[in-house]
Amino acid sequence: MPVRSLSILTGCALALSATAVLAQDFGTEEDQDYAAQLWQLMLDRDLAGDDAVQAFPYPGTDPHGMMLETFYTRATVDDHSGALVIKRNYGPQGVTVDQVIGDREQHLGAVTIMFRRGDGYAPETNDWFWAKYLPDGSLDEAPDGTPLAGRAKGCISCHSTADGGDLLFTTNADLN
């Protein structure tokens, strides 16, 4: 095949894949499956669910909860290991530390996580995979119904303003 028609074909393929990326860059089936694997491993390690390990909650603000717990660990998915940061978000407005400690289940609003997925997953945003779960492990959704899993734009646009260059607000530690 002449080189010129090859490059036309490649050009078409690129244009098609660019459209696909623009159409849905997070919340795809693959993102949802990946988020489900992460939730399962959090359950298996008691990082989520009824027997989840507890820390002392501290006051937070919007868009996360009014009381927060944050955990830093590592996890392995499909043979890749990376940093996993888990934030539990408690509410409602005005909730106290004692109320949260006394009844976590009643006050848990959401579990938001960042997992360093690696392998060139998202080079411009340090390879973080983002997800926001409801307390039962299902994915929360953006206002247009897109499941919040993957390279979630809303999460990234705010977290890009964190200092330290790694999209993390609570720490500038080197989490690989």
Nearest CA-CA partner of 50 in 97, 95, 108: 108
Q: In the complex with ligand HEC, which residue's Cβ is closer, 11 or 63? A: 63
Residue among 7 and 73 whose Cβ is closer to ligand HEC? 73
Q: What is the CA 112 to chain-centroid distance, rounded?
A: 6
Q: Rule CB under 6 A: say whether 75 interacts with ligand HEC.
A: no
Question: Taking the mean position of all CA atoms in its chain, how far away is CA 109?
Answer: 15
**Residue 67's CB: how many other CB atoms inside 10 A?**
25
Tell whether residue 152 is a contact of ligand HEC (CB under 6 A). Answer: yes
Q: Considering only residues 113, 117, 121, 129, which one is a binding residue for ligand HEC as defined by CB under 6 A?
A: 113
Quick note: the x/- pattern for ligand HEC over 17-56, rule CB under 6 A, is: ----------------------------------------
CB of 46 to ligand HEC, least distance (A): 18
> Please, where are the H alpha helices in 68-140?
97-102, 104-107
Q: What is the rounded distance in angstroms from the CA atom of residue 82 to the CA atom of residue 165? A: 17
List C-alpha distances in Å: 6 to 9, 12, 17, 18, 53.
5, 10, 17, 18, 56
Listed ranges 30-38, 57-65, 99-107, 118-126: which one lies at the site for ligand HEC (CB under 6 A): 57-65
Q: Which residues bind ligand HEC (CB under 6 A)?
A: 60, 63-64, 68, 70, 85, 87, 112-114, 130-132, 148, 152, 154-155, 158-159, 168-170
